[in-house]
Structure 1
Amino acid sequence: MTDQPALTDLDLDAWIDGAKNITQVAKIVQRGDLLSKRTRLKEELELARKIPADDRGIDDRSPEVVRAELDKVERDIYDSMLVVTIQDRTEDYRKRLRKRLIEELGLDPSKNADHLDTLSMHIVADSIIKVETADGREMPIGPGGFGGDRLARIQERCGNAATIELWTRYREMTSTSPTVHAPLSRGSSSNRGGATSR
């Protein structure tokens, strides 16, 4: 006798109706100028921990003082970050968006690399559906969406590294299958066939 797989009472059409676009989050760094200060303080803290208290000079700061300043700098960097939620779209949607942007902005990405960069900027910005502060307060982005011009302004002021996580997450989200790990405990798994080692 062959074991038949158990049938579920789930409705396939209802499952499809409940499906949602894949989303990801990325941080955008505003206070990149503090990163060098953080590096300097980390180095100072490492050195301060090596010097015994009795051997410290008058101008040598204690590890506790350096740690307190480092904590403040890290808090300032963190508090300045934006957390953006991006949402995947279909390739058909992106094709229509590219066509519309090329017409509206007068771009020719096949002949001009700057135009290709502008187009990419607007497409990534279009995927941003939510903007929050690091502590979770939502910021209104307006009916027109985040907009490529805003993203370009951020990069002009903060440099490319400030938004690299956004670009990386966007590429991952639109080009790779999401990785989802199965829960470790599943009630019915122990009843399935096979041996379990102790």
Structure 2
Amino acid sequence: MNEDLVIGDDGLARPQWAATSDMLRAYYDTEWGMPVRTESGVFERLSLECFQSGLSWAIILSKREAFREAFANFDPEKVALFTENDFESLMDNPAIVRNKLKIRATIANAEATLMMREEGGLADFIWSFKPEETPAPRTLAEIPTQSVESKELAKALKKRGFKFVGPTTMFALMEAIGMVDTHLVGSHRRNSSGIWA
């Protein structure tokens, strides 16, 4: 048996990180790696991955509802209009991660998202970097942290005014929205997105 997989009380195999709390298990079982193709959905995941940089995903996930409330449910049209007063309010909000650069990046990324509509929209643009094949990791150590595509995507987004979109963060986004399937071989979620057979 793969030591990186844990069999839950329900008999299902999950990676260790997804077996540490009900919150992470629910996220793993129902959402992580499932296709997200709407503008606001992709903008939300991109924003949360930006805030996660250097922190644990559990921290971000536990604050997700507060982030949604603080950032107008990640409606890029609303976030793009945030003023300096809005910025100060966000910096005073203990329910979210109060990082000046990440908050400013999220507002800038909302503006850049609106500009992306001229190129067909953020979601389609990001999905255009979907690789030809997905990794098939058997252990956590085999899961890549970036790829050729995530490097190209990071470069392309930076060119269009996006911030905090490095290749590692973009690979995490690609995992989260189903563009690659890094569920471990043997996990009950492997191949569950309908994108990779």
Note whether the superposition's TM-score is higher than 0.5. no
Larger radius of gyration: 1
* TM-score with structure 1 setting the length: 0.26
Report which of the two has the higher share of strand: 1
